[in-house]
Every structure is written in C-alpha cells, then in structure tokens.
C-alpha cells in the first residue's frame, strides 16, 4: 500500500513536470517547424520543408553585421560583469566596512525596479551625455542589468566556501 502511494506520487510529479516542459517548449518547437515552411504566410503544419528562409537571413549583410556587433557587446559585457561581480561579491561577503549595506542595496536595486522603469531612467540619463545609440551606452545599460545577477550568484557561492579554500585554489590555479 505504501509503495503504491509513493509510486503514484512520483508518477504524478513526473507527469506534472513533463506537462510544464511541454507547455514551455511547445511554442519554440512550433516556431522552429514553421521556420522551414516555403510559404510566405504562417500556417501549421508546413506544406514542405526548405532552408530558404535561413539562406536569406544568413546572406543578409545587415543581419551578419548585427550578429557580430551583438556578439562583441555580449563578450565585453560578460567579461566586465564577471570580473566586477567577483570583486564586488568578495568585498560584500568577506569584508565588513562602512556603507556595505548601501552598496548591497544599490547592487540589488535593479531587482526591485521594473525593467521599463530602468529603461526610461537610463534614457533620461544617457541622452544628455550623448550615450544613446552608442556602444558605451549599450554596454553600460547591459551591465546595469547583468551585474546584480552576477553578484548575487557569485556571492551565494562564496558564502558557502571558506576564504582559506579560495586562497588555496587561487595559488594552485596561478602556478
């Protein structure tokens, strides 16, 4: 009796999780399937399969330029976010100093404010500085959103590991 209850509960959870995955992945799968259709309008299921749409996109010079620009911005933002996230996380988790709570609040502030409000605020600040439509402005805007996530993730990991162990690993890694 007990075994059947546990088995039923496991089956129910697996079914629920499978349905959630299906709910989340179904639109992506449908869009992917439709992307191979040869017709100019959307319909499901597709009449025939073709790579024509992908060939058009990858032969478009504007798309290729935008792709490389986005990749470069993503790499720069990722590197800056990781480096600053590690440094901020170390400072906030390992050291006690004045204004620590203020810095912690400022780092967490983007979690409290809707992204549209952040976007309008950034636009109002960036416009007089000439940062709208510039790489610097785009990078700063992305950093404002990515650094809090980086700091939060790294700080949680650092709080679970002793400082002595981190130093030992750093010495081994830097040999």
| Cα gap 32→13, rounded to integer Å | 28
Between residues 124 and 54, which one has the greater pLDDT? Answer: 124
Query: For the segment 7-55, what is each residue's pLDDT rounded down to a tens digit?
Result: 888 899 999 999 999 999 999 998 888 888 877 777 777 777 788 888 8
Share of the chain above pLDDT 90, in %: 47
In terms of DSSP H, where are the helices of the chain? 2-34, 52-58, 61-94, 100-112, 115-129, 135-159, 163-173
Contacts 24+ apart (CB under 8 A), 127-133: none
């Amino acid at each position: 009796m007990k075994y059947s209850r546990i088995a039923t509960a496991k089956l129910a959870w697996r079914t629920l999780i499978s349905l959630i995955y299906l709910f989340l992945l179904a639109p992506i799968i449908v869009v992917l399937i439709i992307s191979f259709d040869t017709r100019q309008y959307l319909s499901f299921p597709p009449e025939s399969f073709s790579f024509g749409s992908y060939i058009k996109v990858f032969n478009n010079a504007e798309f290729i330029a935008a792709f490389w620009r986005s990749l470069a911005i993503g790499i720069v933002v990722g590197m800056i976010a990781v480096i600053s996230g590690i440094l901020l996380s170390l400072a906030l988790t390992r050291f006690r100093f004045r204004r620590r709570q203020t810095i912690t609040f400022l780092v967490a502030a983007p979690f409290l404010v809707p992204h549209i409000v952040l976007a309008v605020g950034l636009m109002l600040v960036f416009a007089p500085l000439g940062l709208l439509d510039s790489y610097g402005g785009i990078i700063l805007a992305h950093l404002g959103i990515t650094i809090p996530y980086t700091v939060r993730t790294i700080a949680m990991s650092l709080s679970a590991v002793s400082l002595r162990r981190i130093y030992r690993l750093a010495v081994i890694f830097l040999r």
